[in-house]
Structure 1
């Protein structure tokens, strides 16, 4: 008898070969990684295999103890995952109990779980760490026989994944035979992902390649603007978006930012007021109750459309969803595949995602991402290497959870991919740090967080410090937020404190699709009431703009090369052909073999436009590096603008770029490159901001108990104080070094920057002297205008320049005027969502401080 097969047959289903392969592997006690198309049945593959292997007949009054742990990267997935896991229990494991534990778990349920955990528990890495901090952690978690890590691609490349690795190492110590499985749909480096999950142990890699139909297309504007600028096409596509929503029974409209989701939701509702109650908004700052109502409405088919962010990227099963619309570039192949899988989320059903360009050049990305998917090119994920702030936090967690002996825990920690190469010196530094805060904090008892007892077991000596640590567990770092609540009504969600701090009572803002008036601020709550008829602000949630991935960037350049050869075979290329033909006529189109540099003299000065197609973060580093290198010949002042395709350097003095470019683009040894990049930026300020996050994770600063959250300004002041103390009195502090390493690796993407320089050295430099801005140069110029002028002045200047360029291109000026541009400018102010509270874009903080180079504020386009 095969229980999973029988359960499938009772529902008229037939198992896929990859599901049978997983069932067999789990039955043999093997661990592994399942990589399969979204909606192909990964959950049932792993879950039914676990039930077949571990479910036993019920005995006694209680359900079996905790047997299986299901790790999910998002709280929003926990409830949906639990519902899916409960389906086969009556037939295959009637004695088993199931539950979920996360930040959304109610107090009553949490209390019941503290007395006895269910047989299967769906939880997050943070909640698992909290369980490891219990004094009886070994007794409670030692009964585990299997751990499943869902959406492994979402965890693998960040500190939350490292936190999960450390927890798995602890669980394996208590049960060496622990069965571990990961699941993913969008990974490019599968062997490395398996190795990271299992810490080098032998495992099976199962790939569930199913013939699932995936349709990737684009909404194409009726008229292509041959001189685009970032974002402004957006809402002009609203009528087409409305038509697509109307033609489908269920649609998800994905945006890359929470601010953008608020604007698009309001725009759709204003265009179709009769859809009130049939469309909804979903993002991570909305109240849990609102989010759950939206999710249930999607599952039940009562909502026609939901405007959302990455909060609905993962795992949640919405069968009624037929269509997915992506506003703007998805920035990566994996993200597009993940979002596309939200439609047709069942075996055999087609998935369709439609890209809605927010500027003309983004149409090329539509053709590029479709080609990349067809060729199977997906971005890789890599685990962070030895983040000591996460390790320090884990040491205190384990000290609370029964204590530890250093030598034994050292071997346990090294049994992870992230810390496999951890040196004894680094380990001893971490022990010293948790026992006394290092040499500069030794006199303060608050930093004696874990010390050895008489038997040599390290424990937390103070219940107050233990309570503080539990409040600080986790690696998700975000700025302080304030609750938004009606004066005599429900909570609506949360918004960043810095946004509310800029407002005064009577000001209005858009939140949750509602126009609200701020009444007062008290106890970290913004008390509001409904408002009508006044111009709102739109909240900005922190986070860096997502850069274009290298995989997608390479695909874009290949599409441009095809256009340069006259091969306009994709619908998007055909529509954007007028723009590309002007670019080619006035200058050239980039190719994989060439590096395009454009030179222009205007009344502002001498412009250099360079197009490496390496993503905005790399371009920021490249632009600053080139400016710094040029300044070694002669001090100059530069202004910088960057976007995903290239960057602009503007200098008031003449620069002989044809002579200097081959010199300043030359690759150098890695140590020298690190020195030059740090010298070219305000690296001290950037590292200080990065250190704030490290200080929170490592427990140096305490964010406060519930109801008394400290302001972001207080936290910044605290972390800055530690930063200065360490620099002065403890310069060898390894958290300082980590801040610099993370700055280089994550915010400046030093690896991609080095690769870009090496690639550029192999390309043929094509230098074009311009008489006017090209379609590629124009959006970069607009960004510099926006730094110096008001929206009103920028709008008039953009409208005038577009008219002049269209006339030079031999066409009529497009319909519209400065007023249309002003409305577009008001819309085009996005800030990235960042589900885990990602770091602020370094472009916001970078300032020239190196050897005679002074730069204007830098804007991302």
Structure 2
């Protein structure tokens, strides 16, 4: 058995602690090239990741950087530093620990490059920036280990792709570098292991004892959930009662706007004045920090929050988690549940609060999945090429490079293991010239090839601009919100488009307060207090989650049951009535209902493909219906269905679902749609074609949009096969429109379509008529309605049958 260094063992003994089996196993695997540790929340996995480092440095060693820790959150890096200092200081270990994020002062960053600590805690963006400096080989010369925390969260985004390319660079500088990944929620350990390891090296997978099952159930309320909506206002009394019974409760929401509404309603009902806070990414950093400090000190009884508190930070004495709204994703739910009773072998306690009637079903399905330890996740596919372009520019900032060597290095990164040389060369050409349509402009002539074959920056001064724009996180176009008056305190941010819609006197919610819009001054939204009126709701972009494929399939399997004892009576009766009136959707089949309602013909498609895909399906189906002369008038989509209404009944829906026709329709729709321009702007910013920071000044959203729209239109006209347009289509297809899930639905269903014709609205379809976000369709239905109205007016006026066309002729 591997023994700990004496100072560390003495520290464990003094605390009465025993080294957990998975922590000791990590010590035994200290020399493995790559190790993925999957351990439950509160199981000491972060300490397990650091134990080999602490053990190696316990008796002293050379100065310099030994271990790099990478986290998805700046706050998590700071929290880990505080926790790491406890054993280091109490055991008297000669180890320096520092963090380096966007919040670190420039003076400390400069010193860290010259004199790095033994352990550096950072984020993917800060690491990418460090690798761009000429002195990176010196700074990382002694690096032995990299610990990637919450690796599942990074693997789901471009930040993870960026990180793996940076690790490939570090592995070139430090061939014996050891990699460690840590997570509590991994649905496919093999896939994460391949993501983490240096390709084609293996990665060992260590799965710790998962501990006791969480204590998780649905909150019992006196009032049944409404048929639609996402606010869950009906549950406020029951939630407040749970807050009274517990020390600290985290109340999670899926969107920032929902968190604001719920906090406002909770505060109005909080007659006892219990200390309650709100925390989300659009609030001012100072306000978030004050809430975090109060949580750690145990001064708050409840915190209404979003994904900003998802990950592994230990937020004080939290003993209950409440998830308001269906979690959409089992893995996310498990992560949030783990915030309660953050201790090893202590069951987490959580309650789910469905926002509406259908979410009752989804919440029960999620509960069953958690109990079965059945996590979900969508495969991301290969690494995107916009991140690859950015990495080429980062490499050029660090000094001249050989294309062959850089390509070989990049293909050791898991997400880019299958990268073809031709794809790399096209990215390199783009970075060097901007591509065919742009190569005449000096602005995009960024690289040149030397006589010896090496590539370098055409102008060394451009390195500063490239570094200022490193990163894959796409900021929303937001404006600061402050109290009116000189030196007014900041409140947070709202989207630029929302701010543009405000007129003086309008009210909205931010930070749980109702504020009155007074005006825009120097690109800052100035507000005053106005608690007396019903507010507008600020549009915080955030993330709008779609129900995962696995959770959708679990719901469909539930529908096959004869009855549903696990569901509340009102919901079970609802499903039973649907089965009696029509039928319930089934796995491997597609249920389509058609019926008349409110003078229009209705069609409901129960695709269960997630909100983004269902929204796209609505667009494509109405386009197909227009082509087939069926006169659609509009649609509305949810995670599980799309409702289309129009003038003509659909008698045979099968031709509408021809996959080739749907994809052709998608191409036509995308070509002239704002989705493509929005996606182009994001990818072009990551790839370095568009700069958001110039000379230390950030462009406004309007400036960035104008320049990206001009570029998009130019490339679409003169160079339609340009690399950036290829990337844009790939990103739109797998991101905003989620066409992959439509493909999966069509492949799963085949020709197994159940078309049920009815004479009235069905129970399952009824809530769709209450959904917001109805999308009108302008086309032949408008023309027919116009003709019918003209005919009606002529009949009323007695002019029916009278020639209404002009009989004269224009004499030319």
TM-score scaled to structure 2, two decimals? 0.91
- Shift, 1:533, TM fit: 1.8
* Equivalent position to 1:400, from 397, 400, 425: 397
Partner of 1:12: 16
Find the counterpart in structure 2 of residue 174 from structure 1.
173
Matched, 1:721 2:724: no
- The alpha-carbon distance between structure 1 residues 854 and 167, as it changes in their structure 2 partners (threshold 3 A), is farther
Q: Deviation per CA, 1:322-358, whole angstroms, max 9, x where unpaired? A: 1111111110100110100010111022112211111
In 1: Cα distance, 2:513 partner to 2:109 partner = 33
CA distance in 1, matches of 2:672, 2:42: 44
Q: Secondary structure at the match of 1:591?
A: coil
Quote the residue 1:40 is aligned against.
43
Deviation at 1:785, TM superposition (A): 9.0
For 2:235, the equivalent position in structure 1 comes to: 237
1:361 aligned counterpart, secondary structure: helix
Indicate the residue corresponding to 1:761 in structure 2: 750
CA distance in 2 between partners of 1:580 and 1:505 (Å): 48
- Tell me, in whole angstroms, the C-alpha distance in 2 between the residues paired with 1:729 and 1:43: 52
Query: d(CA) in 2 for partners of 1:695 and 1:48?
Result: 41
Among residues 579, 584, 587, which one is paired with 2:579 in the alignment? 584
**CA deviation after TM superposition for structure 1 residue 92, in Å:** 5.6
Query: Counterparts of 1:381 and 1:569 in 2: how far apart (Å)?
Result: 30
1:158–1:718 CA distance, 2 compared to 1 (3 A): same
After TM superposition, the structure 1 stretch with the greater mean CA deviation from structure 2, 647-656 or 496-505, is: 496-505
Out of 12, 28, 33, which is 1:24 matched to?
28
Q: How many Å apart are 1:580 and its aligned residue? A: 2.0
1:581 to 1:521, Cα distance in 2 relative to 1, 3 A:
same
Query: In structure 2, what is the equivalent of residue 270 of structure 1?
Result: 268
Greater Cα shift, 693-702 or 492-501: 492-501
List alignment gaps of at least 5 residues for structure 2: 786-812
Q: Which one of 468, 476, 497 corresponds to residue 479 of structure 1? A: 476
Contact 2:113 2:139 in 1 (8 A): no
Counterpart residue number, 2:769: 781
Give the distance between the partners of 1:115 and 1:174, measured in 2 at CA: 17
* SS across alignment from 2:259: helix
Deviation at 1:774, TM superposition (A): 2.4
Contact 1:187/1:381 (<8 A) preserved: no
2:610 maps to what in 1? 615
Q: Once the 2 structures are TM-superposed, how far is the Cα of residue 621 of structure 1 from its aligned partner? A: 3.2
1:383: how far off?
4.2
**Which ranges of structure 1 fall in alignment gaps of 5 or more residues?**
789-846, 857-861
2:212 corresponding residue in structure 1:
212
Larger mean CA deviation between 251-260 and 28-37 belongs to 28-37
Task: Measure the CA separation in 2 of the matches of 1:532 and 1:621.
Answer: 39
Cα distance in 2 for partners of 1:321, 1:312 equals 12
Q: RMSD across aligned C-alpha pairs, in angstroms?
A: 2.6
Q: 1:140 to 1:485 in 2, by over 3 A?
A: same
1:499 aligned onto 2:498:
yes
Q: Deviations over 1:19-61 (max 9, x none)?
A: 21111101x34421011111111111111122224554157xx
Contact 1:156/1:381, CA 8 A, preserved across alignment: no
Indicate if the aligned counterparts of 2:223 and 2:235 stay in contact, CA closer than 8 A.
no
- Which residue in the other structure is 1:345 paired with? 342
Task: Give the 5 Å matches for 1:735-774.
Answer: 735-761=724-750, 763=752, 765-774=753-762
Of 685, 692, 695, the match for 2:684: 695
Aligned counterparts of 1:855 and 1:346: Cα–Cα separation in 2: 66
Query: What corresponds to 2:304 in structure 1?
Result: 307
Residue 854 and residue 24 in structure 1: after superposition, are their counterparts in 2 closer, same or farther (change >3 A)? farther
- More divergent stretch after superposition (100-109 vs 552-561): 100-109
Give 3-state SS (helix, strand or coil) of 1:561's partner: coil
Residue deviations 1:61-99 (CA, integer Å, cap 9, x gap): xxx211111100112212111112222223567221111
The structure, 1 or 2, with the larger RCO (C-alpha pairs under 8 Å, 6+ apart) is 1
Q: 1:32 to 1:46 in 2, by over 3 A?
A: same
* Partners of 2:407 and 2:323 in 1: CA distance: 46
Assess if the C-alpha contact under 8 Å between 2:330 and 2:366 holds in 1: yes
Quote how far apart the aligned CAs of 1:676 are. Answer: 4.0
Q: Which has the larger radius of gyration?
A: 2
1:664 aligned partner:
656
2:290 is matched with which residue: 286, 293, 306? 293
CA distance 1:8–1:569, change in 2 (3 Å) = farther
Q: CA deviation at 1:750?
A: 2.5
CA distance in 1, matches of 2:417, 2:631: 46
| SS of residue paired to 1:40 | coil
Distance 1:218 1:592, change over 3 A: same
Give per-residue Cα distances to partners, 1:803-839, cap 9 Å, x unaligned: xxxxxxxxxxxxxxxxxxxxxxxxxxxxxxxxxxxxx
Equivalence for 1:203: 203
SS in 2 for 1:285: coil
Hey, what's the Cα distance between the residues in 1 that align with 2:494 and 2:298?
A: 29
1:550-599 per-position Cα deviation (integer Å, ceiling 9, x unaligned): 1111111222222xx02x231x3445223223222322222325533222
The 1:228–1:534 alpha-carbon spacing in structure 2 relative to 1, beyond 3 Å, is closer
Q: How many correspondences in the alignment?
A: 778
- Distance verdict in 2 for CA 1:54–1:854, change over 3 Å: farther
| Residue in structure 1 matching 2:52, options 43, 49, 53 | 49
CA distance in 1 between counterparts of 2:625 and 2:474 reads 37
Q: Quote how far apart the aligned CAs of 1:755 are.
A: 1.5
How far off its partner does 1:453 sit?
4.3
Alignment of 1:569-648 (within 5 A): 569-570=565-566, 572-592=567-587, 594-634=589-629, 636-648=631-643
Take 1:81 and 1:854, find their aligned partners in 2: how far apart are those partners?
64
Which moves more between the two structures, 81-90 or 372-381? 372-381
CA contact (8 A) 1:667 1:754 kept: yes
Give the distance between the partners of 2:695 and 2:768, measured in 1 at CA: 45
Question: Structure 1's 848 and 442: CA in aligned 2 closer, same or farther, altered over 3 A?
Answer: farther
**Secondary structure of 2:491's match?**
strand
Could you tell me whether the CA contact under 8 Å between 1:153 and 1:381 is conserved in 2?
no
- Compare 134-143 and 707-716 and name the one that shifted more: 707-716
Q: In 2, distance between residues paired with 1:608 and 1:23?
A: 60
TM score, norm. by length of structure 1:
0.86
Partner of residue 666, structure 2: 677
Tell me if 1:127 matches 2:126.
yes
Tell me, yes or no, if the aligned pair for 1:505 and 1:519 is still in contact at 8 Å.
yes
